[in-house]
Every structure is written in structure tokens, then in C-alpha cells.
């Protein structure tokens, strides 16, 4: 089911104690433009890089979800990400004053409350939808995650736990909607098995854990639960947070057996590969267009050399369509030519290169890389472009790797092709 992307209407600020480090941490959630995604920003680091909530930033961990970009690291992000998944918040800047998000009450409920108090704002882009195409299976010992193509237009999770004998280990099934998340999953607190506490403390975990934010299973005193199957519901909470790293509205049937963060993360990496393939093939729902502010956010070009006015179609990383409105006020018409103004062919190619850069840069956003034109091949100029024309720019990805991209590009006036080329790009580290 399609819906608009969301961010917050205003900032939300709070503080708390990190569950594992025990440090006091301040957090500020800031609205972000459409297409930004969820980005963590270490406010305690000078000029530290933004850390994107993407599988590429994952640091494999059994006890929590950790993201890292260069020297910047943020752990225990899963509760916030789960809240974002449950509320449908797609674009957010998370400023945090330490290397670990606060544990709050051990659930996602305080994050939900903070974002609801700030208010949710719908944005002009539709949220990208990914329907799982091929089954994904990941296993480790007797733990397993099976991700299947969806039986409906939603995300369904069935979790099969195993706990000490006195703890209810009934399966729990959940269909992701905002209302269901808030009532059935968000309040569930993190937990620990009593026999594991000593080892976890020795490993440096749980310094901020208390009886209020952590449920102890299998101890001398029976655990006081907020709701039936609270530990299993928290497992689903963690899974939803980890799967939020895909950055899409996921439609799938997930069956998880005794899974934890490490297995969740392995499944997410596999799904990210499938999603990338689907985007390159144009099988993921196209997003609505981007205006000039979005273009300027992703491209470094400015007047008088910015030659893309708007991006009107985007299909994943496979295809984009943009427009350049050509007016007599363009500075290049002064010399090309005074009595017969024509848009230079080299600038038509530049416009195509800029749109190609926009398409490819979307994939590289928050990675520390940028797109640079490396080669131009198979150039053909087939017609003139004059003041009053609207140049329609069409680009399609032919090949893409981690450090190279090749794009087929055409410029049209109406149905008439005026120029075309094959453009090659290098992905290099930003200075």
C-alpha cells in the first residue's frame, strides 16, 4: 500500500542513560528533507561524519545494533529505528551526544511518544515499497530467519522463541500497522536470562540496566511483565528496528526462530542485495519527482552551471527523467550565437551528466563518496535546442558497481532526440 514519506514537524529532545555503557546521553530528533533517510549525527564529535541507517554501516553484534561510519559509531539504535518503522518515519536526523542511544524504559514507547509529541509530517515523495521477490533464509545453529514473498500488502512477522521452562514461549504473530505497533510491540521491554547476567556484565554490557528497563527471566523472583509474551514481543521490536535499515516499506512474510540481532542483520544484508537488484531492474515502485531544492542537495553545481531544473521521474537507481527549461536569459546564448541562439551541444551533454550524477549519487548519499564524470562515448548530436524549448533528459543505468557506473543518456525536445551519449562515472571519496 502506497503512502507518503514522513518526517517530524519539529525537533524532539530528550535524555536518558545508555543501557550498556551507563553514560548519560542527550538526543535531538530533527526533521529531514524527503529522500534523506535516517541519519545519526554524533554531536559530541567535531566534524564527525554522519552515520546512515543503512546495511552498509552495520557492525555485526549479537547484543545490540551498531552503526559506524569512519570514526563515528552509534550503538543501541534498534529501539529508535523500530519506532520509526512502526510510525512510518522515513527521514530523520538523530543528533546524539555519545556512542550509544539511551535505553529509556527498555522499550520503544518513549521514542514513539517523543515523535508523536513533535508531530508527524507527510512529505511529497511516496515511500518506496519493496515486495520480497525470492525467499531469503539465514541460519546459525538452531536459530533461523525465513523471509518469504508476502501473502498480502503488508509485513507479517511470526516469532518462535525458546525460553527457560517457566517462561511463556508461545509463538507471536504480528502484522505491521501503526496502531498495532503502538499497542502490541512498542511497550515491550528488553530482557535478559538470569543465568547470562554475570557473563554480560563481565563483557561490559548492562551497566545502565535496572529493574525498570530490563526484564529478568528465570530468576528467583518471577518477572513482572507489562503484557503477555513481553519478551517475544521485544524480539519482534528488535527485528523491526533491524529491518528498518532497508529504508523501504517492506512487504514480506517473516518467520523467525530464536533469532537475535546478528541473524537479523545477516537477513537484512541479503535483502539489501535483492533490493539493489530489483531497483536496477526497475522493479521497485517509482518515487515522485524531486524539485530544485532536492537537486541542489545532491548535486554540487550552482548558477550558472546547474542545468537540471527538476527531476520528474525516478525508478530506483535504474532510470531518471529530468527537465531543463531553456530561456533566452541563459548566459551561454550571448556568444552562441548572437543572431541565432543555440544551446551548445557540450552543455546538453553536461545536463545529461548532471542528471546521471543525481541518479547515481542517491545511492552514495551518506557513504562519503561522490560521483565524478570519467568518460563520454558514442556521442551524437541530432538537432538544435533554442530559447523556449523544454529539454527532456532521460538517463538509464547500464552497469553499476561500488566504484563505477555507466549510463545511457538522451536529450529530447518533444519526441525529437537532439543528443545522446554513453556516460561513465567514477565513485570517489569526497574531499
Length of the chain: 431
Q: Are 218 and 163 within 8 A, CB to CB? A: yes
- Euclidean distance between CA atoms 37 and 206, whole angstroms: 30
- Euclidean distance between CA atoms 418 and 139, whole angstroms: 54
- Euclidean distance between CA atoms 167 and 192, whole angstroms: 12
Torsion of CA 59, 60, 62, 66, to 10 degrees: 20
* Residue in 20, 79, 261, 366 annotated catalytic: 261
On the question of a cis peptide bond just before residue 205, with omega within 30 degrees of 0, the verdict is: no
Q: How many CB atoms lie within 10 A of CB 1?
A: 10
On the question of a cis peptide bond just before residue 209, with omega within 30 degrees of 0, the verdict is: no
Number of H helices, E strands in the chain: 8, 24
Backbone angles phi, psi at 219, to 5 degrees: -90, -175
Q: Are 38 and 158 within 8 A, CB to CB? A: no
Active site residue 20: no
Active site residue 261: yes
Cell, residue 368: 562519503
DSSP 8-state assignment for residue 308:
-
Q: How many CB atoms lie within 10 A of CB 255?
A: 18
Angle (CA) 294 299 304, round 5°? 100
Cell, residue 73: 559509531
Q: Is the dihedral of CA 56, 61, 63, 66 positive or negative?
A: negative
DSSP per-residue string spanning 298-314: H----TTS----EEEEE
- Euclidean distance between CA atoms 412 and 280, whole angstroms: 23
Q: Are 185 and 177 within 8 A, CB to CB? A: no
Burial class of residue 230, CB neighbours in 10 A (0-12, 13-18, 19+): buried
Q: Which residues contact 90 (CB under 8 A, 6 or more apart)?
A: 5, 6, 7, 34, 37, 38, 84, 123, 127, 247
Q: Residues with catalytic annotation?
A: 261, 336
Amino acid at each position: 500500500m502506497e503512502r507518503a514519506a514522513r518526517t517530524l514537524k519539529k525537533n524532539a529532545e530528550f535524555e536518558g542513560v545508555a543501557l550498556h555503557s551507563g553514560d548519560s546521553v542527550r538526543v535531538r530528533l530533527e526533521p529531514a528533507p524527503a529522500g534523506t533517510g535516517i541519519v545519526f549525527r554524533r554531536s559530541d564529535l567535531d566534524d564527525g561524519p554522519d552515520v546512515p541507517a543503512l546495511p552498509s554501516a552495520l557492525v555485526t553484534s549479537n547484543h545490540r545494533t551498531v552503526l559506524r561510519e569512519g570514526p563515528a559509531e552509534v550503538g543501541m539504535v534498534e529501539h529508535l529505528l523500530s519506532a520509526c518503522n512502526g510510525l512510518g518515519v522515513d527521514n530523520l536526523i538523530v543528533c546524539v551526544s555519545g556512542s550509544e542511544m539511551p535505553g529509556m524504559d527498555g522499550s520503544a514507547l518513549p521514542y514513539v511518544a517523543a515523535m508523536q509529541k513533535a508531530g508527524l509530517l507527510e512529505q511529497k515523495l511516496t515511500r518506496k515499497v519493496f515486495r520480497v521477490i525470492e525467499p531469503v533464509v539465514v541460519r546459525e545453529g538452531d536459530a533461523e530467519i525465513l523471509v518469504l514473498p508476502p501473502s498480502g500488502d503488508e509485513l507479517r512477522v511470526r516469532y518462535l522463541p525458546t525460553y527457560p521452562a517457566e517462561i511463556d514461549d508461545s509463538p507471536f504473530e504480528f502484522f505491521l500497522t501503526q496502531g498495532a505497533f503502538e499497542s502490541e510491540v512498542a511497550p515491550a521491554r528488553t530482557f535478559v536470562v538470569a543465568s547470562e547476567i554475570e557473563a554480560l556484565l563481565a563483557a561490559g554490557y548492562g551497566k545502565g540496566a535496572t529493574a525498570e528497563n530490563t526484564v529478568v527471566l528465570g530468576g528467583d523472583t518471577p518477572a513482572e511483565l507489562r503484557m503477555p509474551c513481553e519478551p517475544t514481543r521485544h524480539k519482534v521490536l528488535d527485528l523491526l528496528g533491524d529491518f528498518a535499515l532497508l529504508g523501504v516499506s517492506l512487504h514480506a512474510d517473516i518467520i523467525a526462530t530464536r533469532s537475535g540481532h546478528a541473524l537479523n542483520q545477516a537477513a537484512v544484508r541479503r535483502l539489501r542485495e535483492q533490493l539493489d537488484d530489483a531497483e536496477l531492474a526497475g522493479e521497485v515502485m517509482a518515487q515522485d519527482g524531486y524539485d530544485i531544492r532536492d537537486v541542489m542537495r545532491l548535486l554540487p553545481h550552482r548558477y550558472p552551471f546547474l542545468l537540471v531544473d527538476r527531476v520528474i521521474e525516478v525508478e530506483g537507481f535504474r532510470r531518471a527523467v529530468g527537465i531543463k527549461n531553456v530561456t533566452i536569459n541563459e548566459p551561454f546564448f550571448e556568444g552562441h550565437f548572437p543572431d541565432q541562439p543555440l544551446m551548445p551541444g557540450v552543455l546538453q551533454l553536461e545536463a545529461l551528466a548532471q542528471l546521471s550524477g543525481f541518479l547515481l549519487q542517491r545511492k552514495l548519499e551518506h557513504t562519503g563518496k561522490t560521483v565524478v564524470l570519467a568518460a563520454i562515448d558514442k556521442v551524437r548530436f541530432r538537432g538544435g535546442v533554442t530559447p523556449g524549448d523544454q529539454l527532456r533528459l532521460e538517463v538509464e543505468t547500464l552497469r553499476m558497481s561500488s566504484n563505477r557506473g555507466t549510463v545511457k543518456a538522451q536529450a529530447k525536445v518533444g519526441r525529437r532526440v537532439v543528443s545522446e551519449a554513453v556516460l561513465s562515472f567514477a565513485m570517489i571519496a569526497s574531499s
